[in-house]
């Protein structure tokens, strides 16, 4: 490439950088206030996570030192702490696999059947549709804790204790996901698409699977992320249902490590917390654009 071509290529890039720098330095007072407020809240969110990661690389003695808990520089004992976990009889990796299986299956059932339900509300006209949707919305106002006793009795009566079935199957019914996807379907496509597919001979499930789902990827991805996080962090459900250690999820193993004895190995405990949080961090980093895009769906109309 000739020098003149290189200069022509670099000029727009340098111009954009200079323009961005001048725009940053030329912000008004209220913009600076908003900027520092955002930085402050970002620091509040990030600091505990960074502190957890740092403590996972340190020994219990280092953590218990004066000011040791607030040390911000990582050490070199992470793998030793992981080894302590495995040598202490805590099947942390087995719990990791169990959590992955439960979270993935729960997420798939939640997203697919919630999308199917939302499509039914949007694509069909039937009696009492508004009343049924109102009942569905009303269930969102009821705290889940109020139904735990009844849910436990039902699981016991069905002889499903100490199994994963009660932790996976109920995820099919998610009023929040149905509500979100219904709003997205109403804003993203018209019924003419469904009618055209029917005229072309497409079956109802074929229309849903081949047309509706592909154009709903941003909303589905957003709900899948939130569903996965909820299933991954679920503690009360497994605590009430599971008794066999080979079925324990990761939150149960972490809690067992914390309550096993009074001499807690904080380095190993933090290492277990990092292992449990790492998949969530990776998911957010990989799919954050879907979260931001999904939450702003319908906020701007062309």
Tens-digit pLDDT profile for residues 178-191: 999 998 888 877 77
Indicate the average pLDDT of the chain.
81
Strand (E) or helix (H) holding 107: helix 92-123
The CB density around residue 214, as the number of other CB atoms within 10 Å, is 9
Q: How far apart are CA 219 and CA 183, in angstroms?
A: 10
Q: Pick the closest to residue 99 from 282, 2, 3, 237 (CA basis).
A: 237
| Helix 175-188 and helix 217-233, axial crossing angle in degrees, nearest 10 | 170
Q: How far apart are CA 238 and CA 167, in angstroms?
A: 7
Q: Pick the closest to residue 227 from 298, 163, 297, 176 (CA basis).
A: 176
| Range name among 40-44, 101-105, 270-274 with the lowest pLDDT average | 270-274
Domains of the chain: 3-81 (no CATH), 87-295 (1.10.3720.10)
Q: How far apart are CA 294 and CA 218, in angstroms?
A: 6
Q: CA angle, corner 231, sides to 276 and 116, nearest 5?
A: 145
User: Taking a C-beta distance cutoff of 8 angstroms, is the pair 61, 44 a contact?
Assistant: no
Q: How far apart are CA 119 and CA 233, in angstroms?
A: 29
Confidence of residue 272 (pLDDT cuts 50, 70, 90): confident
Buried b (16+ CB within 10 A) or exposed e, 261-284: eeeebbbbbbbbbbbbbebeeebe
Mean pLDDT across the stretch 223-242? 90
Q: Pick the closest to residue 55 from 250, 272, 280 (CA basis).
A: 272
For residue 87, what pLDDT is reported? 77
Confidence of residue 114 (pLDDT cuts 50, 70, 90): very high
For residue 66, what pLDDT is reported? 59
């Amino acid at each position: 490439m000739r020098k003149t071509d290189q200069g022509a290529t670099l000029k727009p890039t340098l111009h954009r950088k200079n323009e961005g720098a001048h725009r940053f330095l030329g912000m008004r007072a209220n913009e600076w206030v908003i900027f520092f407020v955002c930085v402050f809240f970002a620091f509040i969110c990030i600091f505990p996570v960074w502190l957890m990661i740092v403590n996972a690389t340190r020994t219990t003695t280092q953590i218990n030192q004066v000011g040791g808990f607030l040390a911000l520089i990582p050490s070199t004992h992470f793998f030793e702490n992981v080894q302590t976990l495995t040598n202490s009889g805590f099947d942390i990796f087995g719990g990791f696999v169990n959590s992955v299986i439960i979270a993935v299956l729960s997420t798939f059932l939640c997203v697919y059947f919630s999308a199917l339900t939302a499509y039914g509300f949007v694509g069909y006209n039937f009696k009492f549709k508004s009343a049924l949707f109102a009942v569905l919305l009303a269930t969102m106002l009821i705290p889940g804790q109020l139904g735990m006793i009844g849910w436990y009795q039902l699981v016991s009566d069905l002889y499903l204790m100490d199994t994963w079935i009660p932790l996976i199957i109920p995820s099919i019914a998610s009023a929040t996901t149905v509500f979100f996807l219904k709003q997205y379907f109403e804003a993203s496509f018209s019924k003419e698409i469904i009618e055209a597919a029917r005229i072309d001979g497409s079956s109802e499930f074929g229309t849903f699977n081949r047309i509706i789902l592909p154009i709903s990827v941003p909303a589905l991805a957003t709900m899948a992320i939130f569903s996965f996080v909820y299933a991954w962090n679920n503690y009360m459900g497994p605590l009430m249902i599971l008794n066999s250690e080979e079925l324990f999820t990761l939150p149960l193993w972490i809690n067992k490590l914390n309550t096993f004895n009074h001499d807690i190995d904080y380095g190993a405990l933090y290492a277990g917390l990092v292992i449990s949080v790492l998949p969530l961090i990776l998911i957010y980093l990989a799919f954050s654009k879907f979260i931001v895009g999904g939450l702003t769906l319908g906020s701007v109309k062309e």
